[in-house]
Chain A
Amino acid sequence: MISLFSPQKLLPRHIQTFEAYVPSRPDPELMKMYGCSRLFRLNNNENALGPPPEAQEVLRGFPPKAAALYPSGDAFYLRHALARKFNREPEQFLVGNGANEVIAFVIKAFCEQGDNIVTADKTFAVYEWVARFSGLEARLTPLRDFAFDDEAMLARMDERTKILFLCNPNNPTGTYWDRTRLCGFLDRVAGRAVVVVDEAYAEFVEARDYPNCMSLMETYPNLVVFRTFSKMYALAGLRIGYLAGATEVVDAIRRTCIVYSVNRLAQEAALAALPAEDHILSTRLMVREGKDYLHRELEELGLPFISGEGNFLMVRLPFSDTLAYRKLMTRGVMVRTMTAFRFPNYIRITISSMEAMEALVTALRVILT
């Protein structure tokens, strides 16, 4: 028989047209390629302070032999700690291997072929990606004034809309919906679909009118909240995040959840990090100082910027963001290009230590001349 095995023939149509995401190479490889001897990572919104001291203690003290044992399959102790912190029930939490995994859990739980999700065009890409490679339609609405547009999202809903994804505050614009706007939106969705509010950057928000979604779940049982330990708690390398919702909704999502996907070290470090209020205050202080400094410097450089909540801001450059990335890399500064976020010629900068901010500004001055 002449025909050879062809994986392409076996792929569903929606996967045939989908291209794999290629992650960055490890830092040492990038440094070698770009010829820099140090690298400030301002691309992933990581916390330069590192994990809270309590979590660092856990990491240092982790007995190597414990790696031989399976972790708790459903992050038992962490869910109980989350329940105590937010005054909920442990069954209302579901822990995943980073928030990306819980996005997939929710989509798998509620959507089937022919369904759609609604989100914004210029936001965190993973909602759209997971929907598309699950064979679902991702309905994207343009931002209005750099924020999610509630009217547009409602207008795109139909009877096959199962989930609406809201990133609050939005990555990368830093805009957010206050409690009034969010509740108004939830009222109008009126339980017709699940509303996911991704609060990956909630711990950075200092605005007083930022909604407390954990307290809204009783009123709105279709509300699901995502949180992560990657950003404020600086455990990105361990991959741990969670969702919270009404018990009935979380029970439904749990059916598609992969148990044992969160490792033991991540669970223990997250458990230790959770009460670390001082760490949150220190980080917020670093972010505030970093933003103040960058606002001044960017204004002086004549570069427009969009800065809201969260440990990041966006800068508009007079040339291609991808060229800026390459030039900044040669000076040991790694930023996130925004073309893939549908903001051509913008870069997103993580607010980090003052040393890193100064290195960035110095490098920007050079590449702008």
Chain B
Amino acid sequence: MEPRLTVQLTLKAYDVLLPVATGFVEKTALTFGLGKKEALTLALATEEVFLYLCHISNPETELEIRCRSNAYCTATDFLFEAEGFQMKAFNLTAIPSFEDEASTQEAGLLIAARLVDRFNLQYVGKRLLLTFVKDKAYPEIGDLEPPVSMPLSRFFICRPDGEEIKAAVRMIRQYCRDRFNPPEVDFPGKVADIFASGELDAALAMDKAGHIGGALFWSRDVPEGVECIGPYIFHSESDPEMAVALLNHCMEEIARSGAAGLINRYSGTGLPTGYFESLGVLTFSRGDGTRVDVETSYRHLREDKGIAVWAHPDLAPFLESQYKKFVLPREIQWVTVEGEKKSSFSVLSAEMNRFGHWAVLRPLVYGEYAATVLADHVRLLEKEGFSSIFFEMDLKNAWQAHFTQGLLKNAFEPRLLIPYGGKGDLVVFQRRVQSEA
């Protein structure tokens, strides 16, 4: 695993320090392995955020900028006093306005959010932590022929090296192209880097001659669980126990990791019986306009000790049926609205996959106009051709439950309950397609 480095800069909110902030981020990003273009983009995003913070802050206020290295990306954190910060600029639907100085400054934030690949906002005490992530640029999968697929009657399970990972990814693209695959399979180099970073682990089924018969990947990017991708079996005449062996290997590796469960959204039809519980399906659109139902499966890795979750009463029928069906002990606490003040706006983040025509919305802030903000996002996404729109609600966070009514009003329906899919259980909503809505 490559070492992860963090470099930190603390400075006061004087705009004359702008070159220090942007220079720090650009040079650090270059040092961490981003290309020149990506490093400059991150520096431009930093410029917008820094100037905005200078505009709204007392100049003596300190703010912290932190760059974190990763094999496939660089993350830049901004930690600052939250007062006056207009988070609504991070909505995908925010429209830049240059009517006055304040609007112009907010437009800078909007530009910054569009420049990076991912961002996140969270409170750390009374301060805000804004994280921008910029990925390295990778070439799309080339014309290089993948290894030949052949039936393996005898095989062993092993942890691959970087070249074997890329070969396995090419085999997925070639031999499992009909399956619903994660977008990263178009970038073998990126998968190899994520693997090198330690965020992704993998097992291959190989024979002594070095032929690859199957693959399984797993990652810890779910807070309380592990997400596994596969198993992929590259030849239909391979030993039917290969999928079981790959899964057993994965579970043995993570058995004592403390993870609550194993989620599988990319199994195709490759899951052996008796290992997972089917949670339901999400519907995706293919490029040709046809639709495909993709199953999500799950299994606990440890005994369920029970947790409390927060939900809106409108979700009661769905939640109660799911908890009963999967025999999950949960204490459901219902959120209420009793005249208390809420934030003046709602903010969502959006993860988009243009090739797959899908987008996932996640709540960042709940406040006024939640239903309108949702409707605006849906309108924009559908206009841009995103035909599968999802919303993920973490039931550990009571405030997220307040989005329920807005979701139902905007033709979203709860499709899946993933135990421990977030910090607590995760409900995945999907917007019904226009003809249904």
Q: When the two chains form their complex, are residues B124 and A342 in contact, meaning their CB atoms are under 8 A apart?
A: no
Partner of B300, one of A29, A33, A320, A341: A320
The yes or no answer to B79 lying at the interface (CB within 8 A) is yes
Give the chain B neighbours of A128 by CB distance below 8 A. Answer: 256
Partner of A326, one of B10, B257, B274, B304: B304
Stretch at the interface among A17-25, A192-200, A216-224: A17-25
Partner of B256, one of A4, A129, A323, A330: A129
Give the chain A neighbours of B62 by CB distance below 8 A. Answer: 1-2
The yes or no answer to B19 lying at the interface (CB within 8 A) is no
- The verdict on A339 contacting B301 (CB below 8 Å), with A19-B258, A319-B274, A320-B274 known, is yes
Q: When the two chains form their complex, are residues B277 and A323 in contact, meaning their CB atoms are under 8 A apart?
A: yes
Q: When the two chains form their complex, are residues A322 and B300 in contact, meaning their CB atoms are under 8 A apart?
A: yes
- B419–chain A nearest beta-carbon distance, Å: 10
The yes or no answer to A3 lying at the interface (CB within 8 A) is yes
Stretch at the interface among B108-116, B247-255, B337-345, B382-390: B247-255
By size class, the interface of chain A is 35 or more
Q: By CB atoms of chain B within 10 A, which of A30, A322, A337 has the most?
A: A322
- Of all chain B residues, which has the CB nearest A132? B256
- The verdict on A327 contacting B327 (CB below 8 Å), with A341-B255, A342-B252, A344-B248 known, is yes
Q: When the two chains form their complex, are residues A337 and B302 in contact, meaning their CB atoms are under 8 A apart?
A: yes
Q: When the two chains form their complex, are residues A3 and B64 in contact, meaning their CB atoms are under 8 A apart?
A: yes
Partner of A325, one of B124, B257, B303, B326: B303
- A368–chain B nearest beta-carbon distance, Å: 12
Encode contact with A along B298-335: 1 for CB under 8 Å, 0 otherwise: 01111111100000000000000000001111010000
The yes or no answer to B152 lying at the interface (CB within 8 A) is no
Encode contact with B along A85-98: 1 for CB under 8 Å, 0 otherwise: 00000000000000
Q: When the two chains form their complex, are residues B257 and A19 in contact, meaning their CB atoms are under 8 A apart?
A: yes
The size of the chain B interface, using a CB distance under 8 A, is 34
Give the chain B neighbours of A53 by CB distance below 8 A. Answer: none
Enumerate A334-360 residues with CB–CB distance to B below 8 Å.
336-337, 339-342, 344-345
Q: When the two chains form their complex, are residues A34 and B329 in contact, meaning their CB atoms are under 8 A apart?
A: yes
Give the chain A neighbours of B273 by CB distance below 8 A. Answer: 318
Enumerate A1-28 residues with CB–CB distance to B below 8 Å.
1-4, 18-22, 24-25
The yes or no answer to B14 lying at the interface (CB within 8 A) is no
Give the chain B neighbours of A25 by CB distance below 8 A. Answer: 305-306
Partner of B251, one of A125, A319, A344: A344
Q: When the two chains form their complex, are residues B328 and A326 in contact, meaning their CB atoms are under 8 A apart?
A: yes
**CA of A350 to CA of B206, assembled, Å:** 39
Enumerate B51-94 residues with CB–CB distance to A below 8 Å.
62-64, 79
Q: When the two chains form their complex, are residues A2 and B275 in contact, meaning their CB atoms are under 8 A apart?
A: no
- B180–chain A nearest beta-carbon distance, Å: 23
**CA of A1 to CA of B8, assembled, Å:** 14
Q: When the two chains form their complex, are residues A339 and B251 in contact, meaning their CB atoms are under 8 A apart?
A: yes
Partner of A320, one of B257, B276, B329: B276
Q: When the two chains form their complex, are residues B275 and A344 in contact, meaning their CB atoms are under 8 A apart?
A: yes
- The verdict on A339 contacting B255 (CB below 8 Å), with A4-B125, A322-B300, A325-B303 known, is yes
Q: When the two chains form their complex, are residues A322 and B327 in contact, meaning their CB atoms are under 8 A apart?
A: no
- A135–chain B nearest beta-carbon distance, Å: 16
- Of all chain A residues, which has the CB nearest B64? A2
Enumerate A126-174 residues with CB–CB distance to B below 8 Å.
128-129
**CA of A30 to CA of B64, assembled, Å:** 45
Enumerate A273-323 residues with CB–CB distance to B below 8 Å.
317-320, 322-323
Encode contact with A along B273-308: 1 for CB under 8 Å, 0 otherwise: 111110000000000000000000001111111100
Encode contact with A along B398-413: 1 for CB under 8 Å, 0 otherwise: 0000000000000000
- A45–chain B nearest beta-carbon distance, Å: 15
Q: By CB atoms of chain A within 10 A, which of B301, B326, B328 has the most?
A: B301
- Of all chain A residues, which has the CB nearest B262? A339
The yes or no answer to A121 lying at the interface (CB within 8 A) is yes
Q: When the two chains form their complex, are residues A340 and B274 in contact, meaning their CB atoms are under 8 A apart?
A: no
Q: When the two chains form their complex, are residues B274 and A3 in contact, meaning their CB atoms are under 8 A apart?
A: no
- B328–chain A nearest beta-carbon distance, Å: 7
- The verdict on A33 contacting B255 (CB below 8 Å), with A322-B303, A344-B275, A345-B275 known, is no
Give the chain A neighbours of B329 by CB distance below 8 A. Answer: 30, 33-34, 326, 329
**CA of A318 to CA of B304, assembled, Å:** 19
- Of all chain A residues, which has the CB nearest B276? A320
Q: When the two chains form their complex, are residues A323 and B252 in contact, meaning their CB atoms are under 8 A apart?
A: no
**CA of A4 to CA of B126, assembled, Å:** 11
Q: When the two chains form their complex, are residues A340 and B255 in contact, meaning their CB atoms are under 8 A apart?
A: yes
- Of all chain A residues, which has the CB nearest B254? A339
**CA of A326 to CA of B276, assembled, Å:** 14
Encode contact with B along A51-84: 1 for CB under 8 Å, 0 otherwise: 0000000000000000000000000000000000
**CA of A4 to CA of B66, assembled, Å:** 14
- A366–chain B nearest beta-carbon distance, Å: 12
- Of all chain A residues, which has the CB nearest B248? A344
Partner of A20, one of B248, B258, B304, B306: B258
Give the chain B neighbours of A33 by CB distance below 8 A. Answer: 306, 329, 331
Q: When the two chains form their complex, are residues B306 and A345 in contact, meaning their CB atoms are under 8 A apart?
A: no
Give the chain B neighbours of A2 by CB distance below 8 A. Answer: 10, 62-64, 79
Give the chain A neighbours of B257 by CB distance below 8 A. Answer: 19
20 A-B pairs besides A22-B305, A320-B276, A342-B252 with CB distance below 8 A are: A1-B62, A2-B10, A2-B63, A19-B259, A22-B258, A24-B303, A25-B305, A30-B306, A33-B306, A129-B256, A318-B273, A320-B275, A322-B304, A323-B300, A326-B300, A339-B302, A340-B255, A340-B256, A340-B301, A344-B247
What are 18 A-B contacts defined by CB distance under 8 Å? A2-B64, A4-B124, A21-B258, A30-B306, A33-B329, A121-B252, A318-B273, A320-B275, A320-B300, A322-B303, A323-B277, A323-B299, A326-B327, A337-B303, A339-B255, A340-B301, A340-B302, A344-B252
Mark B residues whose CB is within 8 Å of A.
10, 62-64, 79, 124-125, 247-248, 251-252, 255-259, 273-277, 299-306, 326-329, 331
The 7 closest A-B pairs by CB, nearest first: A19-B258, A322-B300, A33-B329, A326-B327, A2-B62, A33-B306, A342-B252
